[in-house]
């Protein structure tokens, strides 16, 4: 921005700080480097308010999202000696709670908080017998290879694909693909 001689207003600093905050997972991901923290510091100096930004991003969910999360956590499956964790979001979950598909944002990150989990998986119902599979890793496993087996893509730490079938059959196929790595 400085090279383009754009004035760094409070609004610009706020939006850039929010982008950095979310891209780095709240400064927790490997994308957080010394330069990242310096840039965030410069944005705070320019008027970005970290607490206000964080509250508006991470602490402003409607009650329906919490109700949805409660239902989704009931689907938790740990496999491979607790190295993989999966969650399922169905249309029924959304209908029963009044939540929207957008309110599943961040659900994929919940299993990653468990020590020892190498792969987090979120199956989201997209059609009568179609699910989107979102995959996340902490860097030990290349989840893009799993997604590619099902026609999807991504990168080492984040990937996705769509798979047709019953959820139980899909989960079994994906687990076999994970075991083949």
Q: Indicate the number of domains in the chain.
A: 2
CA distance 163 to 161: 7
Residue 114 and residue 73 share a domain: yes
pLDDT value of position 140: 87
Extract long-range pairs of 166-171: CB within 8 Å, 24+ residues apart: 166/129, 167/88, 167/90, 167/123, 167/125, 167/131, 170/123, 170/131, 170/133, 171/77, 171/86, 171/123
pLDDT for 1-43, tens place per residue?
667 777 899 999 999 999 999 999 899 887 799 999 999 999 9
Overall pTM > 0.95:
no
3-state secondary structure of 30: coil
Residue 76 and residue 28 share a domain: no
Is residue 21 in some structural domain?
yes
Residue 148 and residue 108 share a domain: yes
pLDDT value of position 83: 96
Residue 84 and residue 48 share a domain: no
Q: What are phi and psi of 53, to 5 degrees?
A: -65, -50
Retrieve residue 53's tokens.
């930004």
pLDDT value of position 2: 66
Q: What is the CATH classification number for the domain harbouring 136?
A: 3.10.310.30
In the block, which residue shows the tokens 């989107």?
Answer: 132
Residue 111 and residue 83 share a domain: yes
pLDDT value of position 1: 63
CA distance 109 to 72: 13
Q: Are 83 and 118 in contact (CB under 8 A)?
A: yes
Is residue 1 in some structural domain?
no
Chosen domain end from 26, 43, 58:
58
pLDDT value of position 28: 87
What is the domain extent for residue 22? 10-58
Retrieve residue 151's tokens.
């026609």
Is residue 97 in some structural domain?
yes
Which residues are CB-contacts of 149 (< 8 A; sequence separation ≥ 6)?
177
Residue segments in the chain with a per-residue pLDDT below the cut of 70: 1-2
């Amino acid at each position: 921005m400085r090279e383009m001689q754009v004035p760094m207003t409070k609004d610009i600093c706020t939006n850039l700080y929010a982008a950095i905050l979310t891209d780095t997972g709240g400064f927790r991901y490997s994308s957080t480097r010394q330069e990242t923290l310096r840039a965030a510091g410069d944005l705070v100096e320019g008027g970005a308010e970290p607490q206000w930004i964080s509250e508006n991003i991470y602490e402003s969910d409607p009650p329906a999202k919490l109700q949805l999360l409660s239902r989704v956590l009931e689907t938790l499956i740990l496999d491979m000696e607790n190295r993989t964790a999966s969650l399922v979001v169905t249309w029924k979950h959304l209908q029963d709670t009044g939540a929207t598909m957008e309110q599943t944002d961040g659900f994929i990150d919940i299993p990653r908080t468990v020590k020892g989990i190498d792969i987090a998986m979120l199956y989201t119902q997209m059609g009568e017998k179609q699910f989107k599979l979102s995959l996340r890793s902490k860097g030990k496993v290349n989840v893009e290879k799993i997604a590619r087996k099902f026609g999807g893509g991504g990168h080492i730490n984040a990937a996705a694909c769509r798979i047709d079938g019953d959820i139980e059959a899909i989960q079994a196929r994906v687990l076999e693909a994970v075991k083949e790595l």
